[in-house]
Structure 1
Amino acid sequence: MEEGRKPLIIAMKGHPGTGKSTLAHALASTLKFPLIDKDDIRDSTFHLQQQHSIAAASSSSSFVSLLNDLSYEAIWRVASTQLHLGLSVIIDSPLSRPTHFDRLISLAASAGAQLVIVECKPSNEAKWRERLEGREKSWHKPSNWEELQKLVEGYKGCTEYDVGHVPKTVVDTTAPNVGVEELVSSVVDFIDSCRGRFSKCVPSSS
């Protein structure tokens, strides 16, 4: 981070399989920012969910939701520590609900940080599906297109919320002849443009 410059929160957004994590890792490598991945935290709750399932003879949706909320709380706390140290961070999560976005607004305000959103939204559904079903399987993420559609339907449209004055760029991760390096370059250009007009990019807590 340049001397005197406010720390930056780069918040990834997008459904599973959209290329969000691949782009987040590439950005973190390029910018040398700490990467805070919600899946890393969620992965660590496997034994808790397994023990609960054995005790209850089922995996109750309320307990699963509780562990998911706990995972978000953990990434907010880890991000807060880094930001208050003056470090910029990349937060990799679906950012699917307005309440998660509101928490980011509060986090940015408390740390005096600048918030930008990078949303991955593939235009080619066939490539998206191929990517989703071809990736390494995870016990807490959809492994096929039908499971993803069920997840998206469960959101009931809440993922398409207004981010107000917070700068956001939408990235097509299935654009033809566009690789990860080009995507990273476009996001970095976007961030630089926000930095250049800092007064317009600082998130409001109102």
Structure 2
Amino acid sequence: MAKELAEETSKKTPLIIAMKGHPGTGKSTLARALASALKFPLIDKDDIRDSTFLLQPSAARHQLNHLSYEAIWRVAATQLHLGLSVIIDSPLSRRTHLDRLIGLAASAGARIVIVECRPSDEAKWRERLEGREKSWHKPASWGELQELIKGYDGCSEYDVGDVPRMVVDTTVPDIGVEELVSSVMQFIATAC
């Protein structure tokens, strides 16, 4: 199915698969698996953000975050204008980020879908968050994550309008990444 979807997508207009979700929800794992299955370029905000470490003392945290988003939008625009579909791995925590992607899709004649990772098992989510490799810009504890979410002041929960969206629970027992990838690909095939 992955090969057929990739071939079908390459014959049509480019596709943006926009990952959405808080840290530790499994979106990067799913994004990597989708990119591998579909052979789409993966543009990961954390890759860009990690590269800004040396700038940290001279720039405010929000400026570096903004810079990271600007970089992924530009990389995505280049790929889309080349006719390539992309997977964008970012929290997509603000409506302005989605608006930017919608504008990008329109300028490149691309389609867009959202895959939102929203775990129902808070204990598994917490275990995943606190057990992952530590990074200078990611929350390392459940308390830090709760402070981050509180700082969003509810803006991470927004109406996506007409953009097709699939919500994925990455903590369902006995469902592996392969099954999640398959369900996302079926969603994309019917949504596009």
Task: Specify if TM > 0.5.
Answer: yes
In structure 1, what is the equivalent of residue 168 of structure 2?
Answer: 171
Distance 1:164 1:151 in 2: 25
In structure 1, what is the equivalent of residue 28 of structure 2?
Answer: 21
In structure 1, what is the equivalent of residue 17 of structure 2?
Answer: 10
Q: Secondary structure at the match of 1:189?
A: helix
- Read off the aligned partner of 1:13 and give its amino acid letter: K
Report whether the alignment pairs 1:45 with 2:52: yes
Cα 1:71–1:147 change in 2 (3 A) is: same
In structure 2, what is the equivalent of residue 30 of structure 1?
Answer: 37
Q: Percent identity?
A: 76
In structure 1, what is the equivalent of residue 4 of structure 2?
Answer: none
- Read off the aligned partner of 1:152 and give its amino acid letter: I
In structure 2, what is the equivalent of residue 95 of structure 1?
Answer: 92
Q: CA deviation at 1:64?
A: 1.1
Q: How many residues align?
A: 185
- Read off the aligned partner of 1:102 and give its amino acid letter: D
Q: Secondary structure at the match of 2:83?
A: coil
Distance 1:117 1:109 in 2: 15
Distance 1:92 1:31 in 2: 15
Distance 1:48 1:7 in 2: 34
Report whether the alignment pairs 1:127 with 2:108: no
Report whether the alignment pairs 1:74 with 2:81: no
Distance 1:98 1:171 in 2: 19
Q: Secondary structure at the match of 1:74?
A: helix
Q: CA deviation at 1:76?
A: 0.2
Q: Secondary structure at the match of 2:112?
A: strand
- Read off the aligned partner of 1:126 and give its amino acid letter: A
In structure 2, what is the equivalent of residue 105 of structure 1?
Answer: 102
Q: CA deviation at 1:194?
A: 1.4
Q: CA RMSD in A?
A: 1.0
Distance 1:39 1:95 in 2: 12
- Read off the aligned partner of 1:175 and give its amino acid letter: V
Q: CA deviation at 1:4?
A: 4.0
Distance 2:45 2:118 in 1: 19
Structure showing greater radius of gyration is 1
| Unmatched tracts of structure 2, length 5 or more | 1-6
Distance 1:64 1:131 in 2: 24
In structure 1, what is the equivalent of residue 145 of structure 2?
Answer: 148
Q: Secondary structure at the match of 2:160?
A: coil
- Read off the aligned partner of 1:184 and give its amino acid letter: V
In structure 1, what is the equivalent of residue 3 of structure 2?
Answer: none
